[in-house]
Amino acid sequence: MIVIFLFAGALIFAWSVIFLQHSIKKAVWVTVGFILVVGSVVLMTLNYNGYFGMKQIQTTETRPLATMGKNRQVLAYKRLGTQTERIYFYRDNPLDTKVKKTRPTISTVVLKRGAKQNAVKITRTYRVYRNEELRLLFANGVPNHQLTHSRYTFSVKSNSKVIEK
């Protein structure tokens, strides 16, 4: 909708500059068009750069870890580039055949050994619009309910296998 305001402001501004005679009426319409254009551009810039009109929410879920693979490991990881970047592979449902993985670009992983049960606690942070009006205003901008960060806390027993792929 903000793009519609921008387009309408540009049309009002151009129409009033070109077709209206010099009078107070022309000054008012030029000012209205200019304010719509500049206001729309400023609001779009704030939305893209500072996430104007959005707030962050967090969801947390704890799931048990199931074994996977031939070695019956609970958790596996693969190193990327440096020693600190890793992709972790896990299964949280014993009936699932698919293995889930972490995303190193937006996630932080903590590995705790010595737990009573094998489990993963996933905390996800999302950006959502504060209300429906702002969501409609910036409908073509930053998407609603955008995942920004995940934190995986793997709690494994001291005798559980964690292997490198």
20-57 pLDDT tens trace: 999 999 999 999 999 999 999 999 999 888 888 899 99
| DSSP, residue by residue, 122-152 | EEEEEEEESSHHHHHHTTTSSPSSEEEEEEE
For residues 29, 33, 36 and 39, what is the CA-based torsion angle, rounded to 10 degrees? -110
Q: Is 120 helix (H, G, I), strand (E, B) or coil?
A: strand
Same domain, 58 and 13: no
Q: Which domain holds residue 150?
A: 54-164
Of 82, 67, 66, 78, the C-alpha closest to 102 is: 78
Same domain, 30 and 62: no
Domain count, the chain: 2
Same domain, 79 and 112: yes
User: Which residues lie below 8 Å from residue 111, measured CB to CB, with a gap of 6+?
Assistant: 75, 154, 156, 162
Same domain, 103 and 22: no
pLDDT at residue 161 in the model: 80
pTM: predicted TM-score of the whole model, two decimal places: 0.78
Same domain, 126 and 138: yes
Same domain, 61 and 124: yes
Same domain, 60 and 131: yes
Same domain, 113 and 139: yes
Same domain, 100 and 84: yes
Q: In which residue ranges of the chain is pLDDT below 50?
A: none
Q: What would you measure as the largest C-alpha separation in the chain, in angstroms?
A: 85
Same domain, 68 and 129: yes
Same domain, 77 and 158: yes
pLDDT at residue 93 in the model: 86
Same domain, 71 and 143: yes
